[in-house]
Chain A
Amino acid sequence: MKKTLMLLTIMIFLLSIFNFSVLSANKAPEKGEALPIINLPVPKNPDERNYLGLSGSGSFKIPQIKTKVVIIEIYSMYCPYCQKDAPGVNELYRLIENNADIKNKIKLIGIGAGNSSYEVEIYKKTYQVPFPLFPDKDFVIHKACGEVRTPYFMVVKINEDGTHQIVHTQLGNYPGAEPFLELVLKASGLK
């Protein structure tokens, strides 16, 4: 009985430490680092699956996206700056998609911090967001990313050997589609 109680106690204690260290990273991911572990569901929409170069169902990790660079926006439908920047971020998607040289080299995704699937759909519909958005209802990804304020941009370079690193991060201050694309091209070495 005593042993069981002791074991249970240690397990709960370890679990709580695990909770803090893994689920709530205490700092935002930085340039030069790898992404924290982020599992996203393979989109049900075939156009979105095709855009990301994914197939099947289940989950995927961001470096599995078939491209050289991924721009991740951590946003929320409840965030005024994300709302204000939404048309400009859509414009970034269009700039990339309309440029044959970079179309398949840069992909854009959004992760809705604390947003349910319903809330993600509201945001997508309100701002006609043309790129894939993913819910993070229970803040799991948001916590793994150091509970950054929103919008938070991360530019990730995926290497030939499957490794990856963050080449740029930015809290807010979205400068508009063209300057941001320029920044992404330079930071990732595509230019």
Chain B
Amino acid sequence: MEKKKFARILLIIGTLSIFVSVSMAFAISDAYKGNIYQPGALKPVDSKLKVKVGDPAPNFTLPAISGEKISLVQYRGKKNVVLSFVPAAWTPVCSDQWPGYNIVKDIFNQYDAILLGITVDNIPTLFAWTNQMGQLWFPILSDFWPHGAAAKRFGVLRSDGVSERALFVIDKKGVIRYMDVHDINKRPPLEDLMGALEKLKK
């Protein structure tokens, strides 16, 4: 009986440790020095989507770091839109996501697409954090107040108040054409997003 109990405990520990070791893979740029908070491995997805591919994207109006207010609807008929929700400033995977998008402006242009980066952090925090990334070419929006309202409309607000790591591609008609609510612990590969933009051409 004791042996069986021990075996069970070992089985649980062993299995859990495998998950822990494979689910927290990230690199941190030295640009952030020691200022990145380590939240540990999180539940991969902790929300329920309220939209699906083919739905009209819910509109929102959010303040940008630049001081202007940006509405999704303002791009209607003009630009394809990529929404990049990331969970929080000063955390590992998020800090190494937008700087990559920052060097592929030409590809976004090629697909006639604008990128909007969104988190639930307030403007001063986003200002300080994104300053470490260099000069970003795309608007950074704060979904801080009413807290997470935009994320909530898409169904990507997690139970602890941060958003999922989620990508939405919205075409010029305002229709959602691609969604990736990614495992929060991992960065979505760039080729998946670019593949979705390529499909807009067809």
Contact = CB atoms under 8 A, between A and B. Distances in A.
Interface of A: 2, 5-6, 8-10, 12-13, 15-17, 19-20, 23-24, 76-84, 113-114, 116, 118-119, 122-123, 126, 137-139, 142-143, 147, 149-151, 171-172
A80 to B, nearest CB: 4
Nearest to B101: A78
Nearest to A139: B25
Nearest to A174: B30
B99 A138 contact: no
Given A80-B102, A81-B30, A113-B27, 20 more contacts: A5-B11, A9-B10, A9-B11, A10-B10, A12-B14, A13-B13, A13-B14, A16-B13, A19-B21, A19-B22, A20-B21, A76-B29, A80-B29, A80-B99, A80-B133, A83-B103, A114-B27, A139-B26, A150-B30, A151-B30
A76 B190 contact: no
Interface string B10-28: 1101110110011001111
Given A116-B191, A139-B27, A142-B27, A78 B11 contact: no
A114 B194 CA distance: 17
A16 B96 contact: no
A79 B99 contact: yes
Interface string B132-149: 111000000000000000
B25 A78 contact: no
Interface of B: 3-4, 7-8, 10-11, 13-15, 17-18, 21-22, 25-31, 96-97, 99-100, 102-104, 107, 132-134, 187, 189-191, 194
Given A78-B100, A80-B132, A19 B17 contact: yes
Given A78-B100, A80-B132, A172 B14 contact: no
Nearest to A116: B189
Contacts of A122: 103-104, 107, 190
Nearest to A16: B17
B183 to A, nearest CB: 13
A127 B80 CA distance: 27
A9 B7 contact: yes
Contacts of B97: 78
